[in-house]
Amino acid sequence: MFAHCYEDGRTRGQRLARVIGAVVGGVFLAVALALALGWLIQILWNATLAVIFGLATITYWQAVGLFILAKLFFSVGHHGYHHSRPKKFDDQRRHGAGADTEEEGGWAGHPAAFRQYWETEGRQAFENYLERRKKEDAR
């Protein structure tokens, strides 16, 4: 029978498996990065600051602690990408300004044109696609 597919052709189960895989991969990557950064900070501290300034050498866990402290001290109040976006984008997103203008390229700047395309050509093309999928699934 014809299984429900999203527009990218994946089923709900496939999309869920992909999300779970991304989460597990992200956790694995974060742990690996934390281990590597702790080691890197330890090596750099012991090779430079301990030698140049006569400071004590540090252990791996002390290096991890230094990294966490630095992150807390120097990242307070920052929210990643939010501060790097242009103000115009934030205003348009909040207030819906420019939604029907043709200033920007692509369909995002032309919602009225997209609606017209969908009504005239897109709907029929999508129905033809669904019929082809039904025939393929019936085989």
pLDDT, tens digit (0-9, with 9 covering 90-100), for 28-59: 998 899 889 999 999 999 999 999 999 999 99
* Shared domain check, 117 and 71: no
**pLDDT (mean) for 71-82:** 71
Residue with tokens 């995002």: 108
- Residue 31's domain comprises 1-76
Say whether both 8 and 44 belong to one domain. Answer: yes
Based on the fold, state whether residues 2 and 42 are members of the same structural domain: yes
If one compares 23 and 105, the residue with the highest pLDDT of the two is: 23
Q: Token pair for residue 28?
A: 């694995």
Grade residue 1 by pLDDT with cuts at 50, 70 and 90. Answer: very low
Question: How far apart, in Å, are the Cα atoms of 124 and each of 6, 32, 106?
Answer: 17, 49, 22
So what's the pLDDT on residue 62?
95
Contact 124, 117 (CB under 8 A): no
Clarify whether residues 63 and 96 are in a common domain: no
| 32 located within any domain | yes
49 in any annotated domain: yes
pLDDT of residue 102: 44
Pick the most confident of 38-47, 71-80, 95-104, 125-134. Answer: 38-47
The per-residue pLDDT of the chain, averaged, comes to: 79
Residue 84 lies in a domain: no
Provide the pLDDT for residue 101.
Answer: 46
Confidence grade of residue 120 (pLDDT, cut at 50, 70, 90): confident
Residues 1 and 67 occupy one common structural domain: yes
Answer yes or no: is 107 within a domain: yes
Amino acid 94: pLDDT: 57
Would you state the structure tokens that stand for residue 74, as one six-digit string?
């120097």
